[in-house]
Amino acid sequence: MLSDMNPADVSGDYREYTLDLFGVGPRRVLVTDEEVPYPDGRLIVSRTDTEGIITHVNRSFVEMSGYTEDELIGAPHSILRHPDMPRAAFADLWRTVQAGEIWQGYVKNLRKDGAYYWVKATVIPNVRRGRIVGYTSVRRKPERRKVEECIALYARMVAEEGR
Amino acid sequence: MSYVFTVSPDFSPDYLAGWFVFNTWLQRVSGLRFHLELMDHFPALRQAIEADRIDLIYANPHDAATLVREKGFVALVKPGDGADEAVIAVSADSPFQRIEDLEPGSRIATTGDPDVHLVGMILLEPAGLNRENVTLHRCDSYVLVAKCLFRGESDAGIFLARAFDELSRPVQDRLRVLVRSDIQVIHHYLMAGPRLADWVADLRDALIAMGDDAKTAEILKGLGVSRWEAVDEEEVEFMIDLMDTLSYSPA
Ligand SMILES: Cc1cc2nc3c(=O)[nH]c(=O)nc-3n(C[C@H](O)[C@H](O)[C@H](O)COP(=O)(O)O)c2cc1C
């Protein structure tokens, strides 16, 4: 399960949003304007089951998300969902990987402390003996120019989604 | 029956004799006949894999996908010396202070080691560099990558981190590291093909026991390996998925 974000975890001024998450329902998130730079040389890796529940995270994932490994394992991956991300991006992600294909895109993620970080993510279905048994996402440091493009693009998409 | 054993062509020439000694030991301990056949380059290796000529291979992570998913290989062991990581370095007097200072059109010195090159290109990506907008200088060794940087023929070089750390002091002093990968899961694996299926358990046991005995430990030293570690199937599958995400580039 996924609880609301806690003001005690957040540093500085924050805004409040309520997300409507698949399989979770409403979740209150607290968002600040602080960006945490992507750590050089690292890959941030997680795996989920076929429903998007986190089954594995690497050390870089834990460090960047601000959550403990215990908080992450068993949680839906939307624990990192940032309100600035358009719904259409994740719809495209799920459609692609459920079809057995690889999805790649830029994602703004929300940390436990309300700050955010940008990643270039590649999500791949884990095919074992011909069946999809889960998904792996591998994130790397994005090119800044691409991030700037996505900031503008996602703002337009969110506006079109009427949020 | 004789089996074909090969070592991925990215092995260091320092260990050439060591692989022959290892092969002799392997035949004695297993009672199987292995012919050690070394390929000059990756295209020759890929051809041999494609033609199902290989039975045992010390495989580069880049080839693991084909071996496991198309050719039915299983991983026996991996070296216990840490993962394959990459370093991006420049000449010590280079104006570039961080990866993002590099620009499209940069000249990059690299080697034919497919996994190191792949990770190196990922490390260059934050600068907007990709295989379409850089000039690659393929070198035969990491020492030559370093020379390429000293001579100003390349702007940055891609090194296997372990090889970089083994460069002599004076050489390292003339270089500066911009970034070092910390990925931790990309490994070479010693892998056995389908014709060895009945021997997998025995081979694995013998290999893992090598570290326990002074004489066999010496053989391992000749390969630059401290000991062999057990692996499970899912660990290798995980690495293959990860390599696939790194190799992916949309059309
Ligand atoms: C392997 C994998 C990794 C994912 N990683 C993220 C992530 O880092 N951040 C994120 O917001 N959503 C991620 N998602 C998508 C979420 O599952 C979810 O679709 C998204 O957060 C939007 O929430 P919603 O589907 O409930 O609307 C990932 C999905 C998969 C399958």
From B6's Cα to the closest Cα of chain A, the distance in A is: 27
| Contact criterion met (CB < 8 Å) for B122 and A42 | no
CB distance from B72 to chain A under 8 Å?
Answer: no
Looking at every residue in chain B, the average pLDDT score rounds to 96
**From the candidates B241, B244, B247, which should be mutated to test the interface with A, based on the most A CB atoms within 10 A?**
B241
pLDDT at B128: 97
Domain boundary (B148, B180, B212) is at B180
Give, as one character, the DSSP assignment of residue B189: E
B161 and B216 co-located in one domain: no
Residues B151-178, mean pLDDT to the nearest whole number: 96
* B79, β-bridge pairs: B228
Domains (ranges, CATH) in chain A? 34-160 (3.30.450.20)
d(CA B242, CA B9): 22
Q: Which CATH number belongs to the domain containing residue B215 in this structure?
A: 3.40.190.10
The boundaries of the domain holding residue B222 are 2-82+185-247
Instruction: Using the atom order of ligand 1, give the atom closest to the CA of residue A135.
Output: 1
From B115's Cα to the closest Cα of chain A, the distance in A is: 15
- In tens, the pLDDT along B208-238 reads 999 999 999 999 999 999 999 999 999 999 9
The DSSP line for A68-131 is -HHHHTTSBGGGGB-TTS-HHHHHHHHHHHHTT--EEEEEEEE-TTS-EEEEEEEEEEEEETTE
CB distance from B183 to chain A under 8 Å?
Answer: yes
B43 and B15 co-located in one domain: yes
B93 and B126 co-located in one domain: yes
B29 and B73 co-located in one domain: yes
pLDDT at B24: 98
Per the CB < 8 A criterion, the answer to whether B58 and B207 are in contact is: no
B232 and B195 co-located in one domain: yes
CA of A48 to the centre of ligand 1 (A): 10
Instruction: Assign B172 to helix, strand or coil.
Output: helix
CA of B182 to the centre of ligand 1 (A): 24
B111 and B135 co-located in one domain: yes
B70 and B99 co-located in one domain: no
| Token representation of residue B39 | 């390929």
Domain boundary (B164, B180, B196) is at B180
Per the CB < 8 A criterion, the answer to whether B158 and B181 are in contact is: no
pLDDT at B32: 98
Whether residue A48 has its Cβ less than 6 Å from ligand 1:
yes
B91 and B175 co-located in one domain: yes
Question: How many structural domains comprise chain B?
Answer: 2
Provide ipTM, 2 decimals: 0.94
B142 and B169 co-located in one domain: yes
Domain boundary (B163, B180, B197) is at B180
B65 and B6 co-located in one domain: yes
Substitution candidate for ligand 1 out of A57, A78, A112, A137 with most atoms within 8 A of CB = A78
Instruction: Assign B85 to helix, strand or coil.
Output: coil
* A119, β-bridge pairs: A107
| Contact criterion met (CB < 8 Å) for B180 and A138 | no
B173 and B196 co-located in one domain: no
| Spans of chain A, pLDDT less than 50 | none
B168 and B201 co-located in one domain: no
Instruction: Using the atom order of ligand 1, give the atom closest to the CA of residue A139.
Output: 8
